[in-house]
Amino acid sequence: MSEILNTLMQDARIWQGHRHNKTTQPAEPTGYPVLDNQLGGIGWPRGALSECLLDAPGIGELSLLTPLMQRLSMAGKTVFWLNPPHTPYAPALARENINLDQVVMIHTQNKGDLLWTLENCLRSPVTGLVMAWPGKLATREIRRLQLAAEAGSNVCVLFRERRYAEQNSPAALRLELEPGDQQSLKVSVVKRRGSWPGQRCSLAMARRAGLLHSEATRVVQGPWPTSAR
Amino acid sequence: MLWLYLHFPHLLLDHIRRTSENVSALVIVEGSGQKVIQACPTAQSMGVKVGMRLKTAISLAPELGIVRADQQQEARILEDQARWLYRYAAHIVLVPPNGLLAEVGSLQRLYGGLPAVWQIVEEVLHERQLTAWPGIGHTPLAARLIARNGKGECTLDKNHILRIIGQMPLLTAEFDERTCTRLQRLGLNTLDEVFRLSPADMARRLSPETLAYLQKIQGSRPDPQAPWQPAHYFRQQADFVQDIERSQGLLFPLQRILSELEKDLCWRQQDTDSLLLMLQHRHAEPTRLRIRTSGPEHRAEAFLNLISLRFEQQPLQAPVVSLRLTVKRFLGREAPGGQDLLGESQDLKEAWHTLMSRLQARLGENALKQLAPKADHRPEQAWSASEVRRTSRVAATTTNQLPQRPLWLLRGPQPLTEIPQAWFTGPERISGGWWDDRRVHRDYYIAQLSNGQLAWVFRDVREGWFVHGWFG
């Protein structure tokens, strides 16, 4: 086989349906072994876009990234939050052992600025992780970001609404996030490089609120007097 | 003592010509705007001569660029020249309107002889596209006379210098008119003949001032010169013949100024983190732009990138007549070590500053924030956002003592619109703020909503229920 084709196979840009390739593309472990397994044993791809598709915040979507944030920020890499819908709460981040000196929050006025900022962050060697809440994006714009991501070797995660799951996207990894039982997070792989999508797993995320499965609820007193409302 | 005098015959012309890209014919007219006092070679080739009336000049060269001479501006430009000369010589004296005097006798050993000094000065003049007539003399006035008459020679020999001066006719020796006629009536035509008179004779026939002047030329009377001290800031101005309407046109002169700034900073062994750019308009208030970098910087290229980004964001309000770049804040330069204590290489640090400066230049300084926890019980007060800064402080160690908090905090509490599905921990009573009028008295619970969101909800004193955060 030609050399070019070999390289493409190695990077899992081309893959054959009957074979399950171990890819050699660079990646960062997610910190959740269950999820890593589902992603071919590697984790978040570096130098490529990832998308998380979810309906509403508060289902454990940030906890999915805290192990990575913690590792990168401690290694001296900068973590960018671009246009987050709410305020990333510093005491909680500090509690997760994230080095806040490496966390930079950016708010942009319009989409042109957002794309420009994302591109600049992605191309810089100081960046470890870029998390962005871009809103509506055209496929052409995602393609542009994908190219910028390839220029650097950072993890870039876009948080988007779940309705975009149907939309075609050039991102290398697409995950659909849903809340599961007992505060867990159900992750289903919509797309990934090098293999068939469709893997599902459930991650225990109760820890994010200090809750444990076994423990009964610790509300001291039923605080909801139904008659009062 | 040996003095070098630099006479700039058309300094203003040189100054303006080197800030514009396309050189067209250019003249400088005197304050009243009647007479041409300096003309560039292009204008001269079209027949424009110094001393010509402006109307005649315009009819010879219709496309003529005209600049009115301005004393203040000339003084400023002269000082700019002193600033670069100061890198080569310590004792400099400004001789307005168009001369610089430098003591070079003490520099011979440093540069390896007078010819070397001479050569360096000529090279720098050439590099800066300046026309200057140099002259060397054993006294300041001798150097000045030689330079202004264009008779400059690289010589150490005092007798040779005196011989050159001696050959000068009285008219060029800058006596006032009355003294000049009086000397001519005595039958004296060159300086040499005047020098030959005995001092007693001279004092009787001429005024004491003239005697002092002659003695100062010869060197028999001391002529102390107060040295000029460079100001501790960087300021350069570019003046344009034609107004510049688009910001793109400002980048060319800026590039030259910035590379000069880079040289200046290298020479000072310092960096800076803020530039002040002032754009003068003809009929409007000047535009002031402050360009900040997020860390110490000295590279002209980096500054230029930031400025052009800024121009993209902020179009010009009005055509620009002149621009001025000022730097007043200087920072010590860090020793370029391979790695600092944190194991962070210099390149990475520089890349970080470059990225932050770029982002700030385009998005505005308030768009970028760094977060930090604050010691307060009230959730709204327990964090702070500050400007980005590269800090080397070690992360706080008391992280496990922090209470359980959600990763998302809403910008303000939102009313709870549904009955939560499940209740977890609570209540956690947070009460405080009586000291600063931001009173908080709440019971916090962790609860799960019907769509699976894990929320941080509270009940306030008035029994209202609110969502304050999401456990993301």
Query: Structure tokens of B239?
Result: 């003046």
Asked if A211 and B419 come within 8 Å (Cβ–Cβ), the reply is no
Classify residue B161: in a domain, yes or no: yes
Q: Does B383 touch chain A (CB under 8 A)?
A: yes
* Distant-in-sequence, close-in-space partners of B395: CB < 8 Å, separation ≥ 6: A74, A94, A97, A99, A100, A101
By three-state DSSP, how is residue B433 classified?
coil
B181 and B295 together in one domain: no
Residue A214 has pLDDT above 50, yes or no: no
A228 confidence band (pLDDT: 50, 70, 90)? very low
Residue A24 has what DSSP assignment? -
Instruction: List the CATH number of the domain containing B302.
Output: 3.30.1490.100
Average pLDDT of chain A, as a whole number: 83
Classify residue B374: in a domain, yes or no: no
B201 and B82 together in one domain: yes
**CATH code for the structural domain at A26-174:** 3.40.50.300
DSSP per-residue letters across A191-208: E-TTS----EEEE--GGG
Where b means 16+ CB within 10 Å and e means fewer, A11-43 reads bbeebeeeeebebebebbbbbbeebbebbbebb
Asked if A220 and B396 come within 8 Å (Cβ–Cβ), the reply is no
B293 and B417 together in one domain: no
Is the backbone peptide bond immediately before B427 cis, with ω within 30 degrees of 0? yes
Question: Which of B128, B104, B99, B100 minimizes the C-alpha distance to B118?
Answer: B104
B270 and B353 together in one domain: yes
Kindly list the residues from chain B whose CB atom is less than 8 angstroms away from the CB atom of residue A58. Answer: 406, 408, 449, 452-455, 470-472
Residue A111 has pLDDT above 50, yes or no: yes
pLDDT digits (tens, 9 = 90+) for A82-101: 999 999 999 899 888 888 88
Residue A229 has what pLDDT? 40
B67 and B202 together in one domain: yes
CB A219 within 8 A of CB B423: yes
Q: Does B425 touch chain A (CB under 8 A)?
A: yes
Kindly list the residues from chain B whose CB atom is less than 8 angstroms away from the CB atom of residue A63. Answer: 407, 471-472
B20 and B160 together in one domain: yes
> Any idea which of A11-20, A189-198, B140-149, B249-258 has the lowest mean pLDDT?
A11-20
Kindly list the residues from chain A whose CB atom is less than 8 angstroms away from the CB atom of residue B372. Answer: 90, 100
* Residue for token pair 């220029």: A151
Interface of A with B in 181-200 (CB under 8 A): 183
* Distant-in-sequence, close-in-space partners of B447: CB < 8 Å, separation ≥ 6: B420, B421, B422, B423, B424, B426, B454, B455, B457
B212 and B250 together in one domain: no
Classify residue B391: in a domain, yes or no: no
> Is the Cα torsion angle A6, A11, A15, A19 positive or negative in sign?
positive
Question: Strands B133-137 and B3-7, how do they pair?
Answer: antiparallel
Classify residue B287: in a domain, yes or no: yes
Residue B273 has what DSSP assignment? E
A133 confidence band (pLDDT: 50, 70, 90)? very high
For A215, nearest residue in chain B (alpha carbons): B424
B69 and B154 together in one domain: yes
How many CB pairs lie under 8 A apart between chains A and B? 206
Residue of A92, A113, A221 lying closest to B407 (CB–CB): A92
Asked if A88 and B407 come within 8 Å (Cβ–Cβ), the reply is yes
CB B170 within 8 A of CB B32: no
Residue A106 has what pLDDT? 93
Instruction: Kindly report the nearest CA distance between residue B29 and chain A, in angstroms.
Output: 48
Classify residue B367: in a domain, yes or no: no
Asked if B352 and A78 come within 8 Å (Cβ–Cβ), the reply is yes
A1 confidence band (pLDDT: 50, 70, 90)? low
Query: Structure tokens of B237?
Result: 């101005």
- The mean pLDDT value for A137-163 works out to 88
Asked if A223 and B426 come within 8 Å (Cβ–Cβ), the reply is yes
How many structural domains does chain B have?
3
- Provide the edge-to-edge strand list for the sheet that holds A200-203: A200-203, A185-191, A173-179, A48-54, A155-161, A127-132, A78-82, A103-106, B368-373, B383-386
Classify residue B79: in a domain, yes or no: yes
B145 and B242 together in one domain: no
B211 and B271 together in one domain: no
Local confidence pLDDT in tens for the 472 residues of chain B: 888 888 888 888 888 877 766 667 778 887 777 788 888 877 888 888 888 888 888 888 777 777 777 788 888 888 888 888 888 888 888 887 788 888 888 888 888 888 888 888 888 888 888 888 888 888 888 888 888 887 777 777 788 888 888 888 877 777 778 888 888 888 888 888 888 878 778 777 778 888 888 888 888 888 888 888 888 888 888 888 788 888 888 888 888 889 888 988 888 888 888 888 998 888 888 888 888 877 778 888 888 988 888 888 888 888 888 889 998 888 877 655 444 555 556 677 778 888 888 888 888 888 889 988 888 888 888 888 888 877 655 555 555 677 888 999 999 899 988 888 888 887 889 888 888 888 889 999 998 888 888 899 999 888 889 999 999 8
Residue B147 has what pLDDT? 85
Query: Structure tokens of A216?
Result: 């009964």
Classify residue B44: in a domain, yes or no: no
B247 and B200 together in one domain: no
Cα three-residue angle A128-A132-A135, rounded to 5 degrees:
165
Cα three-residue angle B388-B390-B391, rounded to 5 degrees:
115
Residue A11 has what DSSP assignment? T
End-to-end CA distance of chain B: 79
From the number of C-beta atoms within 10 Å of its C-beta (0-12, 13-18, 19+), residue B355 rates as buried
> In which domain, by residue range, is B303 found?
234-335+344-362
* Distant-in-sequence, close-in-space partners of B109: CB < 8 Å, separation ≥ 6: none
- The mean pLDDT value for A26-53 works out to 85
Classify residue B250: in a domain, yes or no: yes
CB B460 within 8 A of CB B441: yes
CB neighbourhood size of B343 (10 A):
9
B214 and B251 together in one domain: no
Q: What is the C-alpha separation between A173 and A193, in angstroms, rounded?
A: 7
Residue B35 has what pLDDT? 81
Q: What are phi and psi of A149, to 5 degrees?
A: -65, -35
Question: Strands B270-281 and B331-332, how do they pair?
Answer: antiparallel
* Residue for token pair 């990646």: A27
Asked if A217 and B425 come within 8 Å (Cβ–Cβ), the reply is yes
